[in-house]
Amino acid sequence: MSKPKLFTPIEIKGLTLANRIVIAPMCQYSAEEGNMNEWHLIHLGKLSLSGAALLTIEATAVLPEGRITYGDLGLYSDQNYAAMSLTLESIRRWSDMPIAIQLSHAGRKASTEVPWKGGGQFAPTAGLGWQTYGPSAISYNADQQPPVALDKERLKRVRDAFGAAAARADKLGIDIVQLHAAHGYLLHQFLSPLANQRTDEYGGSIENRMRFPLEVFDTVSAAFREKPVSVRISATDWVQGGLTLEESLVFAQELEKHGAGAIHVSSGGLHPAQKIAVGPSYQVPLAREVRKVVHVPVVAVGLITGYDQAEAIVGTGDADMVALARTILFDPNWPWHAAAELGGKIRVPNQYLRSQPNRYRGLFETE
């Protein structure tokens, strides 16, 4: 029986990952003033023992006003850095899983309540709210106050903040930085004509609309000292007049030219009128199209729950890796179970070696 492709190594700009399973960034909305706390140690620590190849820290704001909610993580202050350092030190004592971090700015979708309390947007004058910013003064919903359009000075502030956060991530020993250019947040807002109606060099054609995200990429890449920088994109807005797959393919090719280590393909999140036919692997065709035009690893995501399903995605070449989010929250040992089902091997902590069932002898690799 041939070795399942899902459990073969892959390299991203010199970083070797043990298999093709990535833990996607998942917002926890549980930070305090942007700082990690005990929840993040429990949450990330549990996932760091899962056997996946890469653990990605949730969307982490590069500026306070770039947080989605008041509970978002940040990496814009020394306090944020210190709290994250303590958490990572504890995790790394017991796990050697490579760690990535997703750097983000929410743009016009910032200043909201946490999801389990409704998720509505706070006005800038509300106690928990703040002023939002975007490429243009166009709100996400008609009943929201429009963001302030970023002028050249504020564009520089945002760009520099991404660079400063990447430098902190480098100092923390983070292995990969992922830029969040998806799901309707700031960098995606620049890419989409539905949110970006600027008349300067940052608006209009796709070449102009991707200019600022590419400037941010270059700033982050330099600050991260040429270690792998990946990008999460929304390949389509799923709305007429919005960002198209064809435009995203152009963007993906430019990212590769600028040195992107990998491209993580998602979709949507930019406009409330989006119409998405959600189902198993519903975003995989988008990843397949991106993979046709780039030569860097492509990550697929979106209702990937089955072991054979994940193996088929990487085995047929639709994508090079799969990213799990809700699936691995529901089953934190999903990679163990996938290896058992598919005939792969997986590394587990020495303390858990005795958990291997008799029928799966040889499943666990030892150091």
- Residue-wise pLDDT tens digits, 193-205: 999 999 999 999 9
Predicted pLDDT of residue 308 = 98
Active site residue 185: yes
Mean per-residue pLDDT, 291-319: 98
CA 354 from centre of chain = 34
Count the neighbouring beta carbons within 10 Å of the beta carbon of residue 172: 17
Give the CA-trace dihedral at 206, 208, 214, 219, to 10 degrees. Answer: -170
- Residue 367 carries which side chain, given as an amino acid letter? E
Count the neighbouring beta carbons within 10 Å of the beta carbon of residue 146: 14
CA distance 298 to 1: 26
Predicted pLDDT of residue 1 = 55
CA 295 from centre of chain = 20
Q: Angle at CA 316, nearest 5°, toward 314 and 321?
A: 15
Count the neighbouring beta carbons within 10 Å of the beta carbon of residue 36: 26
Q: What is the mean pLDDT of the chain?
A: 96
Predicted pLDDT of residue 172 = 98
Spatial CA neighbour of 54 closest among 157, 176, 196: 176
- Residue-wise pLDDT tens digits, 135-183: 999 999 988 989 999 999 999 999 999 999 999 999 999 999 999 999 9
Catalytic residue among 81, 133, 185, 202: 185
- Size of the chain in residues: 367
Predicted pLDDT of residue 127 = 85
- Residue 360 carries which side chain, given as an amino acid letter? Y
- Residue-wise pLDDT tens digits, 260-272: 999 999 999 999 9
Q: Angle at CA 54, nearest 5°, toward 50 and 59?
A: 105
Counting residues of the chain whose pLDDT is more than 70, the rounded percentage is 99
Domains, the chain, ordered by start: 5-365 (3.20.20.70)
Instruction: Kindly report the pTM of this predicted structure.
Output: 0.97
Predicted pLDDT of residue 124 = 92
Predicted pLDDT of residue 2 = 77
DSSP character for 145?
A: P
CA distances from 33 to 120, 156, 257, 297 (A): 19, 24, 37, 35
Q: Is the pLDDT of residue 365 over 90?
A: no
User: How many alpha carbons lie under 13 Å from residue 348 in its C-beta half-sphere?
Assistant: 20
Q: Which two tokens stand for residue 248?
A: 């995203």
- Residue-wise pLDDT tens digits, 347-363: 999 999 999 898 988 89
Q: 236 φ, ψ to 5°?
A: -155, 150
Mean per-residue pLDDT, 61-81: 98
* 112 contacts 119 by C-beta, under 8 angstroms: yes
